[in-house]
A and B are shown apart, each in its own frame.
Chain A
C-alpha cells in the first residue's frame, strides 16, 4: 500500500517536472514551426495508406513512389481497385468511421455532395495558407477556378485537392473524313449532316459512335444539352430541368444521331464498346472524355494510329460547352496520419506528377502551367493536337452532371429514358416520365 502511494506521488512530481520542462520545449517547437519553411522530411518514418481507382494515375503513383520515399521518408501503401468497387468501399468505410486508408481519390461529380453531407473529409483550408504546409513549388495559384470550386464545400471550406479533369471532345477518323470529302463539323447541325454522309452500313462504317447504355449515356446527352445552353438542375431548392423544350430537343437530337447513324446495338454501348469500334476504324466520329487518347494512339491495340483528329465538341443553337468531370484526392477526418497523408496528397496532386500524367496521356491536370511547359510537351506520348484540343476545351468547360447526392440514381433513371429512345420511344414522353420519377428522390435527398 505505502509503496504504491509513494510511487503515485513520485509519479505526479515527475510529471510536474517534466511538464515544466516540456512547456518551454513545446514553445520552441511552435516558434520554430512558425518561422520554418516547408520541409518535405518533416513527417518521415510514417506510412500512409492510399486507396486509388484503377487507371494510368494509379500506375504512375506506383511507379514513382520510391522517389517520394526518398524525398520525404514517408512510405506509401497503395491499394488499387476498380472504380465502381472503390466508390462503394470509400462510402461504406467512411460511414463506418474507421477507414482503412489515409488518403483516397474520388470523382467530384459522383461523391462530392455525399462526402460533404457526411462530414467525413478533413478540412485543409488553413494548411493551404500556412507556408510551412504549402510549398511554393506546388503552384497552388495555378489550379483553375473550376478545380478549386470542385474541391470547396458549399460553405466555403476546402476539403480536397483537385488532381485531374476530363473534358468531352470529338475523336474523328481523318481517313474516313477525307474519303467522303467531309469537313470537321463546327455545329451540331453540321455534325448530323456529317454523320449522315459518313455513315456506310454496307461497309460496316458508322457515322457516329458514343455511349448508349443506361447511366453512362447521360453524360453524352448533357454534352449535347450544353449546345442548348442548359444544365440538368436549377434553382433552390434544386429542381430538375430535364423536361424543358430544350432538354427534349437535345434528347431528340441524341436519338436521331445515335439510332440513325450509330452502329446496331448502340443501346448497349458504353465507352469501351465505342472505343473498340473507333479503334477498329469502323466509326467516323466518337464523342467521349479526353482520357482515351492513350489507347487510341497505341499501336498494339489500335488500327487508327496517326489517323485520329481531335476536335472541340460542336456548338449548338443556344450554347457551346464541353462537359467536364473532375477527380480529386482527400483525407478522411478519421485518419491517424493526417499530416503525412496531406504531404502525400501535395505530391500526388502537385506540378511534377501533373506533368507526368499529361505526358502519358493519362489525363489533363486542373493546371495551365504543365500544358504550356515545353519540357512536358516535348515528351508527350500522344499527339500535340490532343493537348491543344484539351486546352481549347478549358474555356468552354461546364459541369456534366448535377452536384447532388443521388447522382447514380439520377444517371440510371435519365439513362433508362435515353436508352428507351434508342429503342424507338418518344423523346417528350420519356424525358417527362423520367423527370417525374426522379424529382421525388431529389427532393428527399435535398431535405435530409
Chain B
C-alpha cells in the first residue's frame, strides 16, 4: 500500500512537471525584461556606489568610502532630516483632511457630485504645472497669498522665501494636491461598508461619534492603511514640487534626499556619491515599506 502511494505521488509530480514545462518558457520574456530594466541597473548602481566616479574622468574603486563620507556630510544628514520632517507632515495632514472630507462627501446632499468633482480636480493637474502656479502665488510682493493675508489684516509671510517657513509652505501644496487622493480611497472604503451595523447601532441608541469610532473606523482601517502606504512612499520620493518651487532652498532649507541626489548626480556629475545616496535611500524606503506592510497585516487581523 505504502509503495503504491509513493508511485502515485511520484506519478502526479512528473505529470505536473510535464504539464508545467511548456509554460515555463513564458516566464522568460518577463524575466529578461525585468533583469534588463530593474535588476541589472540596480546591481550596477551598487557597483557605481563603490567607485569614485565623476563624469569626465576615470573611475577608481574605493570600497565603502562614499558611504563613510556621506555619514559625516552635513548636507546629506540635513537632507535626511528634511525628508523625515516633510514626510511626516505630508502624510498626516492629507490623511486627516482626506478622511474628514471622505466622511463629508459620503453623506448625501445637494450638489454632492459637483463638489466631489471640484474637490478631485487638483489631483488631475500635473505637479509641475501646479508648482509653477504656486510659485507665483507664494511671491512675497507680487503673490496673491500675501494679498489675501492683507485682506484679513494679517502680516505678510515670506512663504517659500525664508528657511523657517519653506517646508510648511511646501506642505500646503502637498495637502492641496494629495488630499483628494486619500479621499477617493477612503470614499471607496466607505461605499463598501454594510448598513446593518449602523441600523443596529441606531436602535441601540449609539451617538454619531460612537458609530464612527466603533463601526466606521475599524471597518475602513484597511483602506486607511493602503492610503497611508501609498502616501508615505510618495512623500518620501517627493521631487517635482520642491524642485520647481524652491529648488531645495533658501540655502539648503528644503533640500530633501531626492533633491540632494539630483544635485550630486546631474549638477556635480558625482555619479559615485549619487549612487551611494540612492542605495541609502532605497534602504530607507524598503525598511519603511516593510513596517507599513506589517501594519497592514495587523489592520487586517484587527
Residues of chain A having any CB pair with chain B under 8 Å: 88, 91-92, 95, 114, 117-118, 204, 212-214, 263-269, 273, 276-277, 280, 282, 405-406, 408-409, 412, 415-416, 419-420, 422-423, 437, 445, 448
How distant is the Cα of A282 from the Cα of B143 in the complex, in angstroms?
13
Q: Is B139 an interface residue (CB 8 A)?
A: yes
A409 to B270, CA, bound (A): 10
Which of B74, B161, B246, B251 gathers the greatest number of chain A CB atoms within 10 Å? B251
Q: Which residues of A contact B160 (CB under 8 A)?
A: 268
**Is B208's CB within 8 Å of the partner chain A?**
no
23 contacts between A and B (CB under 8 A): A88-B266, A95-B55, A118-B57, A204-B141, A214-B247, A214-B248, A214-B251, A265-B158, A266-B161, A267-B161, A268-B161, A268-B246, A408-B267, A408-B268, A409-B267, A409-B268, A419-B251, A423-B162, A423-B163, A423-B251, A445-B54, A448-B57, A448-B58
Q: Is B56 an interface residue (CB 8 A)?
A: yes
Of listed B56, B160, B162, B166, residue having the most chain A CB within 10 A? B56
Query: Chain B's nearest CB lies how many Å from the CB of A289?
Result: 19
Nearest-CB residue, chain B, relative to A204:
B141
With CB as the reference atom, state the residue of chain A lying closest to B268. A409
Interface residues on B, range: 20 to 34
Tell me whether B250 and A214 are in contact (CB under 8 A): yes
For the complex, what is the distance from the CA of A95 to the CA of B249, rounded to whole Å?
30
The distance from the CB of A277 to the nearest CB of chain B, in whole angstroms, is 6
Taken together as a complex, chains A and B put the C-alpha atoms of A274 and B179 apart, in Å, by 33
Q: Is the CB of A213 within 8 A of B250?
A: yes
C-alpha spacing A437/B72, complex, angstroms: 12
- Across the two chains, which residue of chain A brings its CB closest to B158? A265
Bound-state Cα–Cα, A265 to B162, Å: 6
A277 touching B161 in the complex, CB below 8 Å, given contacts A408-B267, A448-B57: no
Chain A nearest CB, measured from B151 CB (Å): 16
A265 touches B163 (CB 8 A): no
Q: Flag whether B252 is at the interface (Cβ < 8 A).
A: yes
Q: In the bound complex, what is the Cα–Cα distance between A409 and B263 (angstroms)?
A: 9
Closest CB in chain A relative to B269 CB, distance in Å = 6
Interface residue B140 (Cβ < 8 Å from any Cβ of A): yes
Partner of A268, one of B142, B249, B263: B249
Query: Known contacts being A91-B55, A92-B55, is A277 close to B267, with CB within 8 Å?
Result: no
Chain A residue nearest to B163 (CB atoms) is: A423
Docked Cα-Cα span, A352 to B248, in Å, equals 42
| B54:A448 contact, CB within 8 angstroms | yes
Mark contacts of B258-277 with chain A using CB atoms, 8 A cut-off: 1 yes-contact digit, 0 otherwise.
00000100111100000000
Measured between alpha carbons, how far is A409 from B266 in the docked complex, in Å? 11
Given A92-B55, A114-B56, A118-B56; A420-B251 close (CB under 8 Å): yes
Residue among B74, B141, B266 having the largest count of chain A Cβ atoms under 10 Å: B141
Across the interface, which residues of B come within 8 angstroms of A114, CB to CB? 56, 269
**Are A214 and B252 within 8 A (Cβ)?**
yes
* Given A214-B250, A416-B252, A419-B251, residue A273 in contact with residue B139 (CB < 8 A): yes
Total cross-chain contacts (CB, 8 A): 88
Contacts of A412 in B (CB 8 A): 263, 267-268
CB atoms of B251 and A416 under 8 A apart: yes
> Is there a chain A Cβ closer than 8 Å to B188's Cβ?
no
A187 CA to B109 CA, complexed, in Å: 69
Asked if A117 contacts B57 (CB within 8 A), the reply is yes
Q: Is the CB of A264 within 8 A of B56?
A: no
Assembled-state Cα–Cα distance A409/B264 (Å): 9
| B-side contacts of A267, CB under 8 Å | 161-163, 249-251
Closest residue of chain A to B159, judged by CB? A265
Contacts of B249 in A (CB 8 A): 213-214, 267-268, 419
11 more A-B residue pairs beyond the given contacts A268-B158, A419-B249, with a C-beta to C-beta distance below 8 A: A114-B56, A212-B250, A214-B247, A265-B141, A268-B246, A277-B142, A280-B142, A408-B268, A409-B267, A409-B268, A416-B252
CB-based nearest B residue for A266: B161
Chain B residues near A117 (CB, 8 Å)?
56-57
Specify which of B140, B247, B248, B263 is in contact with A265 (CB 8 Å cutoff).
Answer: B140
CB distance from B165 to the nearest CB of A (A): 9
Give the docked Cα–Cα distance between A214 and B57 (Å).
27
Whose C-beta in chain A lies nearest to the C-beta of B160?
A268
B41 lies within 8 A of chain A by Cβ: no
- A221 CB → nearest B CB, Å: 14
Distance between A86 CB and nearest chain B CB, rounded to angstroms: 12
Give Cα A405 to B163, complex, Å.
Answer: 29
Q: How far is the CB of A422 from chain B (nearest CB, A)?
A: 8
B126-152 vs A, Cβ < 8 Å mask (1 yes, 0 no): 000000000000011110000000000
Point out the residues of chain B lying under 8 angstroms from A276, CB to CB. 139, 142
Q: Which residues of B contact A423 (CB under 8 A)?
A: 162-163, 250-251
Q: Quick one: closest B residue to A437, CB to CB?
A: B74
- Chain B's nearest CB lies how many Å from the CB of A32? 41
Check A263–B141 contact: CB distance below 8 A.
yes
In the assembled complex, the Cα of A174 lies from the Cα of B246 at a distance in Å of 32
B156 touches A (CB below 8 Å) = yes
Which residue in chain B gives the minimum CB-CB distance to A265?
A: B161
Q: Nearest B residue to A113 by beta-carbon distance?
A: B56
With the chains together, A273 CA to B136 CA distance in Å? Answer: 9
Chain A residues near B267 (CB-CB < 8 A) = 408-409, 412
Pick the contact of B158 from A92, A264, A273, A448 — CB < 8 Å?
A264
A268 touches B156 (CB 8 A): no
